[in-house]
Structure 1
Amino acid sequence: MSSALLITVAPTGAETSKTDCPQLPTTLAELVATARECEAAGAGMIHVHIRDDDHRPSLDLSRLTDTVQALHEATDLVVQLSTGGSVHDPLDQRLKVLDAAPDSCSLTMGTTNFGDDVFSNPWPFICELYQLAQDRGVVPEFELFDLGHVTALERLLGKYGLPPGGNVHVDFVMGVPGGMPGTAAALVAGVAALPPEVTSWSATGIGRSTLPVMLASLAQGGHLRVGMEDVLTISRGVPVDSNAQLVERAVTAGRVAQRVPMSGAEARALLGLPETGGSAA
């Protein structure tokens, strides 16, 4: 078990409105300030969704490009763009996210029910997005919402080979209504099913499953994703003040497990990225 701990912060997401949660970082200035705070607190990577001028989810390429550049200039964090967007975004727009030249991108390994909606990730789209990431030198983080997604990952790697840099990093997204439950038992089953090509994995617990998933991941030597995309309370009934507060809690839990937060440079090495900002191409 490695003593190093990758903490990814997912500060915004596409589901929560600014009206309902004023502390949610939705402008570029807010996102950059959040990234700096979270890096100082112990984050090594940032998972990014952006919003438009009305604080609505957006996949605008110009905004995405400006966001990647600003985060690279302000921090040493690995910048990972979501290719999921919101559940309503069309597939062709989601493919164009890679034109913003992030270090990493999320790549969800299958369609899943998402509350009352459907998060669509058909197999041809997965294959096209993966090949595009390979061509662009963007390192995917394979998002696994269910055990069937683990099997799909094995199929994808068998057909198209390894990502840029040769390392395979996955993230279990747990506790989404319609996906795998956010329990220790589910995480144990998922980890046991991972194909041998996987070199590192993290886990995300949505809502009330945040703490159980965090502790189960640390117990198995996994890494963590935290942030206001995934949970809006720091304890029962107590709203989160900031994303840095969630990163700090993850750092504290890691210390109990004798795990030390990775820097951005160490996160790059884990993912197979070059030492400085930019893609692996």
Structure 2
Amino acid sequence: MKSGILKKARHSTALMAFMFGASAAQADPAALLGKTICDNQADSFDYQWITANVADVDLFFLSGDTVENGTINAVGHEEDFNDADDVYIALHGAVDVVGDFSGADFAALFLANHASTPTSVTFYVCQSGTPPEGGVSSMAALARSYPGEVEHSTLIGAVNAPGPNTCPALAVDADAEPFDPIDALGQAVYHTDIDHTDDFDERLAYLMDRWDGGGVTYPDTEQTYEDYCEAQLANDPTGQWVSGFIANVNAQFGAAYLSLVNANYGGDDLVTCGPDVQCD
């Protein structure tokens, strides 16, 4: 069986970040999270992986579900999203869905908040490279918002996403079993179409069970991690609580999530479009 780690739709090698995200830009890179952080542990550990491999990342939080009510909010700093040359997007998704937004609406909101042309944009979002019938992928919708000279290309230096009909997942950089497990999340690679060891389902079930129950409560509360997250989200949709939440997710689930990543191997790199590559 091949699948992404917990990166399911809400509605139904050198590390990739270095390969595509590093630049000589002086502005800090940005990581964009959103409401799907409450779905399971995946978005929190995507952020942990990004910060382990990219220096000086500024956290932003996406709220709303349309272009009209959507906002991109700085979390714990006063940097402007528009100034970030390299942007990493860690949300759940589906075909033509990024978080709570359609691919087109997400692209429009991104452009409204980032009028300057980024150096790179990387989607760690399920199916973000998959075109819907008669349309373009979420990746392409964003890329084409900064149109290049070549038809359906982009001025963005690199737009990276999982290839068509795939979801991204953190995995050990190994082609086949047996392989040596990694001992830190930052050592993982982001691949699609990964393979799993036989105990993957057991490791996944452990995490899923304890996210919304399983005898695990959020620190100093009687709420599950899911319930606590949703309550915070209702109270503050701008996400100013998210940094502390991610730290507690890491403290509670870090070892188990690393165990899950160690059940993944193989797969393919993200795909890229850019100034001379058509974005579909």
Task: Give the TM interval when normalised to the shorter protein.
Answer: 0.3 to 0.5
- TM-score, with structure 1 as normaliser: 0.34
Q: Which structure: larger Rg?
A: 2
- TM-score, with structure 2 as normaliser: 0.34
Flag the structure with higher helix content.
Answer: 1
